[in-house]
Chain A
Amino acid sequence: MSLDRVRIGFIPLVDAAIPIVAADVGFAAAEGFAIDLAREVSWSNIRDRLTLGHFDVAHLLAPLAIATSLGLGALQAPLAAPVTCGLNGNAITLSPDLYDELMDHFAPDANLFDPRATGAAFAALVRARRVRGDEQPTLGMTFPFSSHNYLLRLWLADAGLTPDEDVRLAVVPPPYMVDALEHGHVDGFCVGAPWNAVAVSLGLGRIIHLGVDLVARCPEKVLAVRESWLTEAPERADALVRACLNAAQWCDDPANRDDLATLLSSPHRLDVPPGVIRAALDGRLQVGRGVRAHDDYQIFGRDHALRPDPRHALWLYAQMTRWRQASGEEGEAARAASVYRPDLFDRAAGTPPPSLLEDPLGVFPGV
């Protein structure tokens, strides 16, 4: 575990771009270390291998890093996030059948991008199915501790539904989501890029919402490390953060998008056609009706997105208590917030703390 070799586990997703670019475009080398990337099949494996020391750093769901630190899941270990992998990138996709069924429940003048309007239609669909005695839809999400679980629950609960009773929420790891839709194991899902665009390109799914319709700046993955890894050699975290900052800047430059799409598309990275990845990078997605373009669909480094904002951790923790994953016992929220380490980020970047947006999230921003 020397400074010169850092092992990073990742799940094939567009927001793994920052560690991938840091490794493959030379930003890690510029900071004096090399990255060994390991593609993993499940978030559980990544968490275990990080806590056991097989990985030094993990591309990890932010809520899973928090839950692991708090001991809410299968394994307890103190983790820290000195840098994030950006924000957003999610969408909600339905099977063509469920999409058509939902359309039947829309008011004629409804705004299809308004989560309140789509939520109301979805609630009407659930009620109609109950009257008919039909099975309720199954929606896929990536992990119990994931923004995808919380985004779906936010959308459903706002429409007056009880997510644990009115639908079935099923865990499916991101690269298997499209397969689960194809085989009818799920009728829709919430997942990060590029898997929504992949489902659309294969004609298996129709996007109903971009993640930004529900939360304008949604916390996603972080680069998580063991606390002990930080204390053993603090300069390692500094080098890691700086490499990520430079990688994110490279990812943000539209001139690099073709190269980035090609890099991510390779078989040992995401193994998805570059054109589909490019659509996600451009934030131009074929949705149920027409094409939608949104600059914030996937945010890498701009607007201080890489700097861990403890208010994001607190929001994620609030979702855990709302959905009874966490007890809400005294001091737990503060411990959740302390997983996010803007202090380490600022130290490595050598910049003073930026002035922050008043509202770090923007829940239901268009409403």
Chain B
Amino acid sequence: MTDRAIPDRPLKIVLIDASPVRAAILEEGLRDAGHANIMRIADHANLLERIYAIDPDVILIDLADPSRDVLEQMFQVSRAVRRPVGMFVDQTDSAAIEAAIDAGVSAYVVDGLRRERIKPILDTTISRFHAFSKLRSELEHAKSQLEERKVVDRAKGILMRSRNIGEEEAYGLLRKVAMNEKKKIAEIAQSVVTAAELLG
């Protein structure tokens, strides 16, 4: 593949991602890698027309985004496309394709771009998509921890009132039952709360 068509000017990159947080993370990564010409598209109205107007070199799209099929139309409407678009740099590079799909992203690249120019963009994209998934699962974990703490607090309150004991003693009771039943404290706390709700 030659690079005749595209001189060494900054590449125009379009990001299609409904998640603003992930798009921001990716944009930051690409900017750090020296790519300043990045456009984000979050909604799908007249997507093809907007892409034609931008005339990008690289399009990165979230795999969960149904407008991926709209992009595939670019291969077909040759009269509307100024430059041919191909998928990924090199179809024979199945490892790169696989890594991208695993990360949940797909890339469309204009024909004639050298592989060396695309590879770092793809690598950044994949690592930022992974970073986002990690961030999201950490967030979910933190959220569920917070929920658990709330339930334990409610259970402690119920025990303190019904048994007329102190906070530490109430917590000790929950922990003891959890250990005996080989369950998490939050689970025991949840059953205390449920039982209290049932008994009114």
Contacts and interface: CB of A to CB of B under 8 A. Distances in A.
A170 B106 contact: no
B45 interface: yes
Nearest to B78: A324
Contact of B69 (A75, A142, A164, A324): A142
Contacts of B66: 41-42, 173, 175-176
Interface in A128-159: 142-144
Interface in A110-133: none
Interface string A180-208: 00010100000000000000000000000
Interface stretch (B50-58, B90-98, B142-150, B171-179): B90-98
A41 B65 contact: yes
Nearest to A183: B45
A44 B72 contact: yes
A325 B74 CA distance: 12
Interface string B57-77: 000000111101111110111
B76 A325 contact: yes
Contacts of B69: 42-44, 142-143, 171-173
A52 B65 contact: no
A45 B71 CA distance: 12
Contacts of A144: 72-73, 75-76
Contacts of B94: 52
Nearest to A67: B75
B25 interface: no
Contacts of A325: 76
A101 to B, nearest CB: 22
A288 interface: no
B45 A52 contact: no
A54 interface: yes
Contacts of A172: 69-70
Interface residues of A, number: 27
B106 A49 contact: no
B101 A54 contact: yes
Contacts, number: 64
A74 B86 contact: yes
A44 B76 contact: no
Given A48-B101, A185-B45, A171 B75 contact: no
B87 interface: yes
Given A54-B101, A73-B75, A45 B63 contact: yes
B79 interface: yes
A147 to B, nearest CB: 15
A76 interface: yes
A41 B79 contact: no
B73 A74 contact: no
Nearest to A184: B45
Contact of B97 (A42, A52, A142, A175): A52
Contacts of A143: 69, 72
Interface in A18-61: 41-45, 48-49, 52, 54
Contacts of A142: 69
A172 B46 CA distance: 11
Contact of B72 (A74, A164, A183): A74
A49 B87 contact: no
Given A74-B108, A144-B72, 5 more contacts: A42-B68, A48-B106, A74-B75, A144-B75, A170-B70
Nearest 4 CB-CB pairs, A to B?
A: A74-B87, A144-B76, A42-B68, A42-B69
29 contacts: A41-B64, A41-B66, A42-B65, A43-B69, A44-B106, A45-B68, A48-B97, A48-B106, A52-B97, A52-B101, A54-B101, A74-B72, A74-B75, A74-B86, A74-B87, A74-B108, A76-B91, A142-B69, A143-B72, A144-B72, A144-B73, A170-B48, A171-B72, A172-B70, A175-B66, A176-B66, A185-B44, A185-B45, A185-B46
